Amino acid sequence: MVSSHTLQTKQNQRSIHGSQLTSESKTRGGIPMTVLVILTVLLMERPLFTLQASPLTEAAAGSQRIYIPAKICGQCHHEIFKTWSLSMHAHAMDDPIFESTYALAYTQTGGKAKKLCLRCHAPTVLLTKDFDQELEITREGITCDFCHAVKDVDLSRRDSPMVMNPLLSKADMNWKRDRTYHDIKKNPVLASSEFCAGCHEYSDENGVSLLGTYTEWKKSPYAGQGISCQGCHIPHAEGKVNDPRMLMFKDSLSGGVHSKDAPPVKTEHEHDDIVTRLENVERKGGNLTVVVSLTNTGSGHKLPTGIPSRNLVLICEVKTVPDGKTVIRQKVYRKKVVDQKTGEEFSGDADLMWKPGRLVEDNRLAPHETRTETFRFMVIPDKDVIVKAYVNYVYQPVLIQKTEMKIQMSGDQKEVPAIHDKH
């Protein structure tokens, strides 16, 4: 973050001109370096530019004063705000899958699910206690100021692993003074995989892992190589400084922790982190044997990861030429968790996250693991065939969708005879 500068909400502006300071310069334009530094520090305590929005007053903000709305951050950190606003974090509360699942879980538990679900989808509630979503900051989902107020993560605290200091990212801010600024302080927690684990690691009351992405990473070669979650999902890039006068603080800035993922370089066999290859195809008369390999090439966790209802399906397809008749075989990779009481698979994510479960299968691909599968087909000996192998990510969430309900309430009907011309 670019900080230690003033955000002024009154209608006054200040412009400062001059060359950048360098460590080698003793004077600049006849002015001693010491004087320039003192003037710069003093000016940094004064407004640098005007914001369009009026400042939040204590009365208007209420409980929201604990956290700053993202739009306030966006008035200076334009590019960062734009990137965040398009992210899943910004839409953690209005994502259709979450909205539907949360509605079901809330109904099934008589409202108890809100403390479990909102602690990650709207984590500001951990301090604001706004579980009924009355504050705008709650509806922002995983907002800027929440993440930047996390000072530590304690995974032994199952119900609330995030250790927070709401003043961490806004030291010296005071809404009452009609001006806001914050000091620069690099927070190493933000660059650690443990930071992500605060939400992307969760076990039910019986210790059954429902979200185990962090544990999967920790057991992988990536952890040993010092490649954190952020190393792949938020690749480091040179940060942009909004005001050139802030370049003097460049060594304190954290760089590209908000930069977008670089576009992946793909081959004809590859999509993102997984590679599918036809290793061998052997035909003897009417028998066709196909050997397919599937490799987790670039993911630091298992594939698929996240909630157990997500599957990978490897499909081997044989099409007869020229009639186009197609035969399909498939292999499913998943983490199967069933209801502890009934032994049946959960019908949806709401049940899976709330009811006690039991792990019965986990054949997902670990990082760098290659799995080889053999498929056999019966084919017509004198016909050409085309063999194809591909993998699909399959997830079937429950969605509440708008639809039309039409019921005829009343009506009447009469037959009207034609008029025949007697002439």
Q: What confidence tens digit (pLDDT) does each residue in 38-74 have?
A: 333 333 333 322 233 333 343 444 444 578 899 988 8
User: What is the average per-residue pLDDT within 235-263?
Assistant: 49
Query: Where is average pLDDT lowest: 80-89, 231-240, 297-306?
Result: 231-240
Summarize the confidence of residues 226-247 as an average pLDDT: 72
Q: Residue 382 forms beta bridges with which residues?
A: none
pLDDT range class, residue 240, cuts 50, 70, 90 = low
pLDDT above 90 for 168: no
Residues 6+ apart with CB under 8 A from 35: none
pLDDT of residue 266: 41
Three-state DSSP state, 213: helix
Is the whole-model pTM more than 0.75?
no
- Is the pLDDT at 206 greater than 80, yes or no? yes
Output helix, strand, coil percentages for the chain, rounded to the nearest 5: 25, 25, 45
Spatial CB neighbours of 47, under 8 Å, sequence gap ≥ 6: 6, 7, 8, 10, 12, 13, 14, 179
Decide which of 122 and 57 is more confident. 122
Look at residue 196 and give its three-state secondary structure. Answer: helix
Non-local (6+) Cβ contacts of 185 within 8 A are 3, 168, 171, 252
Q: What is the pLDDT of residue 183?
A: 63
Q: Is the pLDDT of residue 315 over 90?
A: yes
pLDDT of residue 239: 61
| Cβ-contact 110, 133 below 8 angstroms | no
Residue of higher predicted confidence among 178 and 111: 111
Predicted confidence band of residue 164 (pLDDT cuts 50, 70, 90): confident
Whether residue 324 is predicted with pLDDT greater than 70 in this model: the reply is yes
At 24, the pLDDT band (50, 70, 90 cuts) reads very low
Show the tokens assigned to 134.
Answer: 């009355």
Q: DSSP for 72-90, please give it.
A: HHHTT-HHHHHHHHTSTTT
Q: How many CB atoms lie within 10 A of CB 118?
A: 22
C-alpha to C-alpha distance for 300 and 312, rounded to whole angstroms: 16
**Residue 338 — φ and ψ, nearest 5°?**
-115, 165
Indicate the DSSP class of residue 4: S
pLDDT in tens, 403-414: 788 888 888 888
pLDDT of residue 233: 86
CA-to-CA distance for 60 and 65, rounded, in angstroms? 9
pLDDT above 90 coverage of the chain, percent: 49
Cα–Cα distances (Å) from 251 to 203, 236, 255, in that order, read: 39, 15, 9
Q: What is the pLDDT of residue 182?
A: 63
Query: What's the pLDDT score for residue 242?
Result: 63
Pairing of strands 310-321, 326-333: antiparallel
In angstroms, what CA-CA distances link 259 with 31, 211, 266, 417? 39, 25, 21, 75
Say whether pLDDT at 386 is over 90: yes
Which has the closest alpha carbon to 139: 74, 55, 210, 71?
71
In eight-state DSSP terms, residue 257 is: T
Lowest mean pLDDT among 2-16, 33-47, 180-194: 2-16
Average pLDDT, the chain: 77
Question: Residue ranges per domain, the chain?
Answer: 6-252, 270-395
Residues 6+ apart with CB under 8 A from 147: 190, 195
- HEC string for 299-331: CCCCECCCCCCEEEEEEEEEEEECCCCEEEEEE
DSSP state of 140: T
Distance CA 287, CA 379 (A): 6
Residue 387 has pLDDT above 90, yes or no: yes
The confidence score (pLDDT) of residue 282 equals: 95
> Looking at the DSSP assignment, which residues form a beta bridge with residue 389?
316
Residues 6+ apart with CB under 8 A from 174: 180
pLDDT band at 272 (very low <50, low <70, confident <90, very high): low
User: Which is nearest to 51 in space by CA: 39, 69, 33?
Assistant: 69
Q: Which region among 53-57, 305-309, 392-396 has the lowest average model confidence (pLDDT)? A: 53-57
How far is 369 from 315, CA to CA, in rounded Å? Answer: 18
Q: What is the mean pLDDT of residues 68-89?
A: 87
Q: Which fold has domain 270-395?
A: Immunoglobulin-like (2.60.40)
Residue bearing tokens 């509806």:
139
**Confidence tier at 165 by pLDDT (50, 70, 90):** confident
Cα radius of gyration (the chain):
29
